[in-house]
A and B are shown apart, each in its own frame.
Chain A
Amino acid sequence: MENAQLIGLSRQIALKRQMNVVANNVANINTNGYKAQKLLFEEYIMPRAADKVFGAQDQPLSYTNAWATINDFSGGPISQTGNFLDVALQGDGFLAVQTPGGERYTRAGTLKIDNSGLLVDNSGNPVLSEGGQIRFAPTETDIRFNEDGSILTSEGNKGLLRIVEFEEPQILIREGSNLFSGGEPLAASNTKVVQGAIERSNVSGVIQIAEMIRVNRAYQSMAKMMERQDSMRSEAIGVLGNPSR
């Protein structure tokens, strides 16, 4: 009889985890370049002490187990800002930035220029071009990012933004600060750069709230079920454990 309770528990743990994922999506609903996450579950068949002798009686027990958070890499809405250092990517590519821990990838194109003229992301990590870091002289004006990622200024061509794509983007690891790491970067083939625009978070409020309600109700129904289990057991003890009846 305890099995029902344990299975219920496995479901509750999974739902709680899912609630955390939903909460993180909603918290990042206004984070530029954020990609929504989804939690996937699997059926986990518990190994049981089965013997051929009792084979017929022993039912397999399936527990719930969270096995992956997959990333929804669909494009977020691109909104015009008119700020020349805002860069949105159209397509599957990522901008490459250099961090102390190595190369990282981001879709958040709110770029800045630091005090030495280096093109950096919002955390101050240098943005990479195919030839390394990108530095602008103080007198350079009219910085333009073209559709193919080439950078043009009043002083001419400054190289090509390093834009990478991944054959299997799901294996990318989230680092926080809008950065992803890992994977095997390939040169981008179908990504376009849009200057003066940013890609907003691709989280859909409606879907997340609906998901939250569903998680909530499922959680409550599990709690109810466990309650019933409990009363069933106490009844059983009451009835069976009373020798005078």
Chain B
Amino acid sequence: MKALYTAASGMAAQERNVEVISNNIANMRTTGYKRQRAEFQDLIYQTVRRAGSLTSATGTQVPVGIEIGSGVKTASTARIMSQGSVEPTQKELDVAIRGEGLFVINLPDGRTGYTRDGAFERDNTGTLVTMDGYELQPGIVIPDTARSISISEDGMVEAFLGNDSTATQLGQIQLARFANKTGLESIGGNLFVETGASGNAQLGSPNSDSFGGVMQGYLELANVNAVTEIADLIAAQRAYEMNSRVVSGADEMMSSVSQLR
């Protein structure tokens, strides 16, 4: 009974759908989180009667064939890399990107990570680091004596040192972009790493070459929309239920056969 397995593939797909949705909802308040969406595709078809095959010696053809599908598969859980809304935080080292680009982070294992989470702190040497203590690239060191740190829209970090009356430039934040940013791999901790599918990172300064600008004192919220997530959750749940009805329907059919004398 093929229907049984077809419906089982539907249940598995919807289960995955609910997993993705629940992760979106769990990360509704995660800074810089980008929502994922499960996308599905139908599986191959079994052709019982092929359209276009001859039905007589005079050349008449089967107009429409019989094709019986075998269910559904999850094609991707693509991230929707749209801009999240920005929230003012009053914190001078909070930075949000408005537009294209990701912050570049040195990971402790030597790889380079990319993130939209711009909640930075200073470590014991004054270097700008993420919440996990990973260094922002290029390393920007803010001396102890710095006052009123300002980060301009093009990423230039400036501060007044000691009793100086003019600001000193401490470095410029770099952003990275990818040909296919949905192809980045998520490694948790709000971080992405580059993959073969994403292409190589192209670095640049904020506000140049179609990179977005940075906003000091703001954080980018998750781009999760509670209403759409809940609507998707309901749809997924109902679809799961319907597939399980088909499983029991197929089961009933089989049992009526097995009870034949």
Selected contact of A170 from candidates B63, B70, B177, CB within 8 Å? B63
The answer to whether A30 and B253 touch across the interface, beta carbons within 8 angstroms, is no
Selected contact of A28 from candidates B17, B42, B67, B199, CB within 8 Å? B42
The answer to whether B242 and A122 touch across the interface, beta carbons within 8 angstroms, is no
Assembled-state Cα–Cα distance A27/B43 (Å): 10
| 10 closest A-B pairs by CB | A27-B10, A115-B199, A24-B69, A23-B3, A23-B6, A68-B64, A176-B44, A31-B40, A223-B256, A27-B72
Q: Quick one: CB contact mask for A170-209 with B, threshold 8 Å, 1 for yes?
A: 1101111110001000000000000000000000010011
Could you tell me which B residues sit within 8 Å of A by CB distance? 1-4, 6-7, 9-10, 13-14, 17, 37, 39-45, 47-49, 51-52, 62-72, 75-76, 78, 80, 82, 100, 177-180, 182-183, 196-199, 202, 209-210, 235-236, 238-239, 242-243, 245-246, 249-250, 252-253, 256-257, 259-261
Find the A residue at minimum CB distance from B241.
A205
Whether A23 contacts B242 in the complex (CB less than 8 A), given A113-B180, A170-B63, comes out as no
Is A112's beta carbon under 8 Å from chain B?
A: yes
Shortest beta-carbon distance, A194 to chain B, in Å?
17
Is A128's beta carbon under 8 Å from chain B?
A: no
Beyond contacts A69-B68, A114-B179, A115-B198: 9 other A-B pairs, Cβ-Cβ < 8 A, are: A19-B1, A23-B250, A29-B239, A31-B40, A31-B41, A67-B49, A70-B64, A212-B245, A223-B259
Is A230's beta carbon under 8 Å from chain B?
A: yes
List of A residues within 8 angstroms of B37 by Cβ: 81
Selected contact of A19 from candidates B3, B82, B197, B242, CB within 8 Å? B3
List of B residues within 8 angstroms of A230 by Cβ: 260-261
Selected contact of A22 from candidates B44, B52, B246, CB within 8 Å? B246
- For B72, B196, B252, the residue with the greatest tally of chain A CB atoms inside 10 Å of its CB is B72
Chain A 3-41 interface residues, beta-carbon cutoff 8 Å to B:
15-17, 19-24, 26-32, 34, 37, 39-40
The answer to whether A24 and B42 touch across the interface, beta carbons within 8 angstroms, is yes
The answer to whether B65 and A68 touch across the interface, beta carbons within 8 angstroms, is yes
Assembled-state Cα–Cα distance A183/B40 (Å): 25
Per DSSP, chain B at the interface is mixed
Whether A66 contacts B10 in the complex (CB less than 8 A), given A24-B69, A173-B67, comes out as no
Stretch at the interface among A55-63, A158-166, A213-221, A235-243: A213-221
Whether A27 contacts B7 in the complex (CB less than 8 A), given A19-B253, A82-B82, A141-B100, comes out as yes
The number of A-B residue pairs with CB atoms under 8 Å apart is 214
16 contacts between A and B (CB under 8 A): A16-B253, A19-B1, A19-B3, A24-B68, A26-B10, A27-B71, A28-B40, A28-B72, A116-B199, A138-B178, A170-B63, A177-B41, A177-B75, A182-B52, A212-B249, A226-B260
Is A117's beta carbon under 8 Å from chain B?
A: yes
- For B52, B69, B78, B243, the residue with the greatest tally of chain A CB atoms inside 10 Å of its CB is B69
Is A110's beta carbon under 8 Å from chain B?
A: yes
List of A residues within 8 angstroms of B14 by Cβ: 30
Selected contact of A115 from candidates B82, B183, B210, B259, CB within 8 Å? B183
Is A154's beta carbon under 8 Å from chain B?
A: yes
Could you tell me which A residues sit within 8 Å of B by CB distance? 15-17, 19-24, 26-32, 34, 37, 39-40, 66-70, 81-84, 108, 110, 112-117, 122-123, 136, 138-141, 154, 170-171, 173-178, 182, 205, 208-209, 212-213, 215-216, 219-220, 223, 226-227, 230-231
Per DSSP, chain A at the interface is mixed
The answer to whether A175 and B45 touch across the interface, beta carbons within 8 angstroms, is yes
Selected contact of B41 from candidates A20, A141, A154, A178, CB within 8 Å? A178
Whether A173 contacts B246 in the complex (CB less than 8 A), given A27-B6, A27-B72, A116-B199, comes out as no
The answer to whether A30 and B3 touch across the interface, beta carbons within 8 angstroms, is no
Assembled-state Cα–Cα distance A17/B51 (Å): 17
Shortest beta-carbon distance, A175 to chain B, in Å?
7
The answer to whether B42 and A34 touch across the interface, beta carbons within 8 angstroms, is yes
The answer to whether A209 and B242 touch across the interface, beta carbons within 8 angstroms, is yes
Assembled-state Cα–Cα distance A69/B250 (Å): 20
List of A residues within 8 angstroms of B197 by Cβ: 114-115
Assembled-state Cα–Cα distance A182/B45 (Å): 15
List of A residues within 8 angstroms of B177 by Cβ: 138
Find the B residue at minimum CB distance from A85.
B182
Assembled-state Cα–Cα distance A175/B52 (Å): 16
Assembled-state Cα–Cα distance A178/B72 (Å): 10
Shortest beta-carbon distance, B16 to chain A, in Å?
10
Shortest beta-carbon distance, A148 to chain B, in Å?
25
Assembled-state Cα–Cα distance A170/B52 (Å): 11
List of A residues within 8 angstroms of B80 by Cβ: 81-83
Shortest beta-carbon distance, A176 to chain B, in Å?
4
